[in-house]
Amino acid sequence: MKKIDVQMVEDIATGAALLGTGGGGDPYVGKLMAIQALKKNGPVNLIDIDEVPDEALIVPAAMMGAPTVLVEKIPSGKEIFKAFDSLKSYLGDEIFAVLPIEAGGVNSMIPIAVAAEKKLPLIDADGMGRAFPELQMVTFHLYGVSATPMVLADEKGNSLLLNTINNFWTENIARNATVVMGGSVMVAIYPMRGKDLKKAGIRNIVTKSAKIGQSIREARKNGNDPIETLLNTIESYVLFKGKINDVIRRTTGGFVRGEAHIEGIDQYKGETMTINFQNENLIARRNGKVVATVPDLICTVDAHTATPITTEGLRYGQRICILGIPCDKKWRSEKGIATVGPRYFGYDIDYVPVEELIKNC
């Protein structure tokens, strides 16, 4: 059994922020919450999906809302425990373990804080293998798992327990409540049994995040190129390198939406890239031609340090490298593409795997 300590938290935060593809929250805010909980309660046990009994109840914990808001509206740290306790008391059953719902700087950390505080193990799995903006955009949904009963809690002390007829209604009602409650809330959601997670979950997100974070950290320490190291650590492709020219960003309806324009540098000089995002990066176009789309991962990192940059962290003049990473194969099913493919987000683009698109560049 692995133990998650403060060093590993740092690595997970970095790696998960990369896999968060621009969303999932800022790793700095996330780390503070997790480290505080570890310092108070000691290290957290990390377990594999197969260690979860079939009938055991497990609960993902996360932040919901626009990450732009979370940067200024720091959670009290208590509301996620409240959400978790309310859901537990409603379900009237013991919770065996917690897990992340997605990768991301905050959403990889919140479940660690809950695991530490509640003395529960953390499961090395999630429902995305990356981050997505809407509640039904999880592999759990593809396998018919209900997002409700779920609990939303804000830092003021308001909370809300939701039961719906399907996950689209959950997204609809919870998203609007999130906006009213201040733009970001903490949620305990998709309670399910071990056997459901084994079918519907994506394995190894925590260890994968930790490995990515560790490789970046060690490359920097050893004077190696962290981006080179990254390319050797996980299957990934450089889509572009450039300087941010312009970022248009609006926080509306509980999301941050916008686009980033990047001017090529080095071997990309004279070229351009545009990235559209809704919390997460959705579409990357090089010289107007699509080179990667959801559900594949479009990751923005600092061109020199490989530090992941969230969509709310994108700034004029930054030199960034854009990486493409193939998504989990669960997303490449017909239902997966219908749920999180480019057309769901309103783009008239067919999904083509990034590893194929990149061959034509």
Q: Which residues bind its own copies (CB under 8 A)?
A: 86, 90, 156-165, 169, 172-173, 176-177, 179-181
CB of 79 vs its own copies, minimal distance in Å = 12
Our CB check for its own copies shows the closer of 42 and 157 to be 157
What is the token pair recorded at 117?
A: 């505080």
Closest CA to 226 of 209, 212, 207: 212
d(Cα 273, Cα 119) in Å, to the nearest integer? 46
CB of 160 vs its own copies, minimal distance in Å = 5
What is the token pair recorded at 315?
A: 């700034």
Our CB check for its own copies shows the closer of 151 and 357 to be 151
Our CB check for its own copies shows the closer of 172 and 224 to be 172
CB of 147 vs its own copies, minimal distance in Å = 12
Our CB check for its own copies shows the closer of 90 and 347 to be 90
CB of 191 vs its own copies, minimal distance in Å = 15
Torsion of CA 239, 241, 244, 248, to 10 degrees: 0
Our CB check for its own copies shows the closer of 175 and 243 to be 175
Query: Which segments of 173-318 are extended strands (E)?
Result: 184-188, 192-193, 202-203, 237-252, 255-264, 272-278, 280-286, 289-293, 297-302
Beta-carbon count within 10 A of 222 CB: 9
Interior angle at CA 300, CA 308 and CA 18, nearest 5:
40
| Interstrand relation of 122-123 and 44-47 (parallel, antiparallel or unpaired) | parallel
Count of alpha carbons within 13 angstroms of residue 360, beta-carbon side: 12
CB of 153 vs its own copies, minimal distance in Å = 9
Our CB check for its own copies shows the closer of 176 and 232 to be 176
By residue count, the chain amounts to 361
d(Cα 337, Cα 19) in Å, to the nearest integer? 19
Our CB check for its own copies shows the closer of 115 and 188 to be 188
Three-state helix/strand/coil letters over 279-302: CEEEEEEECCEEEEECCCEEEEEE
Q: Are 213 and 223 in contact (CB under 8 A)?
A: no
d(Cα 22, Cα 303) in Å, to the nearest integer? 15
DSSP 314: -
Closest CA to 69 of 250, 192, 287: 250
CB of 170 vs its own copies, minimal distance in Å = 8
Our CB check for its own copies shows the closer of 176 and 333 to be 176
CB of 156 vs its own copies, minimal distance in Å = 6
Our CB check for its own copies shows the closer of 45 and 158 to be 158
CB of 108 vs its own copies, minimal distance in Å = 28
CB of 273 vs its own copies, minimal distance in Å = 37
